[in-house]
Structure 1
């Protein structure tokens, strides 16, 4: 029986026009990264499992795609661990490699491995796919692209200010009309845990309050109780869910709340600097909001944390990031601070599709098509395409002689910008009839004029 073709859930095929739209997104992001001095790198699509595991917290580890060992390595499976019920150890013995969960941990590994070849602070950008064994749903895929920019080797808050500007510039260039950059500081969250008397439960507290917009205040309180956070601590934390006002007013409220926490006050100081500098520099379209409930679940964040949401679209965050003070220490290089952000290209792609924000010619697949009127005419057109391709014009000759209606339909389906017509009379005169497929305008050109038109 013939197998029905299918792809795994949480993945997508992209047709040529869709790839053109995605390329537009990637190129826009890449152009802004370059203006801020970031250089490109690439890392393998899979890493050693030991590189990835334990870096994202318990929830993140569950979403890592393992790659099953093959051949003789299968014999190394730890059957004693299986019999003892130690499933994590047994799983590790079966899968020595895993698909990367994000680009940040592989970047930390890259920095440590190549530290003698890099100049610090090192600024890199990276546009590659990542994989997560998450439940597929709207805006959430198992395979998706991240577009990351990171600086490592400096604890200067200049970079946090730059990243807010980068969020604003990229999304403005993409035409997104309204979006909010939410910002918090992990030190503030540590201060909250400290003031509530639950410092040892920082991770549980941050994971719970990060879900406020999804499960509501009651859901957060229920999760905190399930994690063993005391009622007294919950009573201290709960009023923070309702903090409102301007960023300045929110900072003042949190400064009073964290008065007894040196760590928390340090977070307020850092956040205030970023907000003040951002206000001084100005933004094109973004709104910036201090959100004390913004936590981001990744364990490696230690300072500023960011998240960006688009207005009037049912979609989770389209960008995120934050500072991590010692991620490279996990690989033997201690005391190196870093900060980075990530654009979720697939979510941005969905947002631009929903709001119909692509430039009109983004998915045009061919600039120039030569119609085919017969053997002599086609041979002449082939010579023209040779010359035009040498100067970078994408063009082709329709492969067979056919009715013009069929050739123009092909041009429409390919979203061709121009159709060149060379019939018997044009061949005799040495001219080309050029039709603009968008405006319908048609004009007669010489070969030289045609050439000049497309190399301007």
Structure 2
């Protein structure tokens, strides 16, 4: 029999890893709710036509398709099979797909439940998504997204609150120097307009979005291959060395985009957001204007965000998002503007692990292990364990009556800090011998005293 394994790009998680992941999720969830967001959940898979065509050609290729149940080739003719055209066959053999992100399913949810929702609607969602991407460090085929979105409001104060939300979460996690990059798709549209490449806006933004992966030369090469002229590339050359404060960058953009109404509107939106963030201040994060930030998803129309890890940590973005003016329009509900951000749980985990920032108390281990000396002693121990659990203390009984040394080894491997000895002697005096496994100190206690020590 072949050795069992798991699909490439997926992972198993140990108890310690799950506890650390839950620690991050709890902090994100707590801040979502502090900012007024409400939870929803959507199915792990959607109808294919809900997802396809919403992420651009590159995104569509990364969507996991689900074969129809039963004989999925039943409706395919021999002639169609002979053509061997996967793109034309796929809709006939696969009507459902695993969700690629949480935003498009959310748009579908809003349209489907619009009569039950009070707008503006602030929702958060923490669920797994799937992408047929090439696995690498910090990039998986199955991973969790933690999203917060607001729909039904065009107010830029929502963008300001989302920047604050990023800062609040990363500050609670102990991450200092996180960079929240901001740009605006209207600025990118304006640049494409100014250089005469408005008809190639998608190609322009998709290539520009790869700057951190393939570098300036790689981006220029891809743009040339997509039909953007060398003269146009010459005009955008300043973007690759765009430096200065946010205010200085906005002045440069105003000069570059003076001939584009849409571009200037993007500049004014950024100025509104950045000026107010400067007044309100951020705790441990830094806001920066990055004019090369494009975010490859086609549905963004206004402000776009991407969050970089603290300096010194080699990792891709740990969050991102933006404004989408008419995402629900693709499902028939027009004029429903929204804006949202996402936290990359898996990458955040790797960053915190690399920096050694997980608290030592995160591990979900028991506080005390009661040793097993036989059925009578085990019953005595279980009475105490039951009472401790009702008091909110994690405690357990070693299930088998084996050598005491083996039971102590088990507690040590599980990193359980205390062992409780409840043998015949202790039972006779209605006592418990509590041993601190780190110091070796042992004390004889009544139940109330035991409860006090384990509670402290």
Report TM bin, short chain: over 0.9
Query: Could you tell me whether the CA contact under 8 Å between 1:78 and 1:90 is conserved in 2?
Result: no
Equivalence map 1:299-338=2 (5 Å):
299-310=298-309, 311-338=311-338
Query: Could you tell me whether the CA contact under 8 Å between 1:435 and 1:441 is conserved in 2?
Result: yes
Task: State the match for 2:46 in structure 1.
Answer: 47
SS at match of 1:149: strand
Unpaired runs of 5+ residues, structure 1, are: none
Task: State the match for 1:105 in structure 2.
Answer: 104
Query: Could you tell me whether the CA contact under 8 Å between 1:188 and 1:263 is conserved in 2?
Result: yes
Task: State the match for 2:405 in structure 1.
Answer: 405
Deviation for aligned residue 1:442: 3.6
Q: Does 75-84 or 309-318 show the bigger shift?
A: 75-84
Q: Does 66-75 or 159-168 show the bigger shift?
A: 66-75
Matched, 1:204 2:187: no
Task: State the match for 2:393 in structure 1.
Answer: 393
Q: Distance in 2 between matches of 1:343 and 1:439?
A: 40
What do the CA deviations read for 1:40-72 (whole angstroms, capped 9, x no partner)?
Answer: 110000000000000000000000000011215
Aligned residues: 455
Task: State the match for 1:21 in structure 2.
Answer: 20
Matched, 1:423 2:423: yes
* TM, length-normalised to structure 1: 0.96
* TM, length-normalised to structure 2: 0.96
Query: Could you tell me whether the CA contact under 8 Å between 1:67 and 1:97 is conserved in 2?
Result: yes
Task: State the match for 2:177 in structure 1.
Answer: 178
Task: State the match for 2:135 in structure 1.
Answer: 136
SS at match of 2:74: helix
What do the CA deviations read for 1:57-98 (whole angstroms, capped 9, x no partner)?
Answer: 000000000001121554123666555665423111111000
Task: State the match for 2:247 in structure 1.
Answer: 248
Matched, 1:221 2:235: no
Query: Could you tell me whether the CA contact under 8 Å between 1:169 and 1:284 is conserved in 2?
Result: yes
Deviation for aligned residue 1:238: 1.7
Deviation for aligned residue 1:373: 2.7
SS at match of 1:366: coil
Q: Distance in 2 between matches of 1:288 and 1:129?
A: 28
Query: Could you tell me whether the CA contact under 8 Å between 1:364 and 1:416 is conserved in 2?
Result: no
Task: State the match for 2:229 in structure 1.
Answer: 230
Task: State the match for 2:193 in structure 1.
Answer: 194
Task: State the match for 2:357 in structure 1.
Answer: 357
What do the CA deviations read for 1:362-395 (whole angstroms, capped 9, x no partner)?
Answer: 1142122111233332220011112222333322
Unpaired runs of 5+ residues, structure 2, are: none
Query: Could you tell me whether the CA contact under 8 Å between 2:15 and 2:364 is conserved in 1?
Result: no
Deviation for aligned residue 1:29: 0.6
What do the CA deviations read for 1:305-358 (whole angstroms, capped 9, x no partner)?
Answer: 101111211110010000100000000101000000111111111112222211
What do the CA deviations read for 1:118-154 (whole angstroms, capped 9, x no partner)?
Answer: 1101111111000000011111100000001110110
Task: State the match for 2:285 in structure 1.
Answer: 286
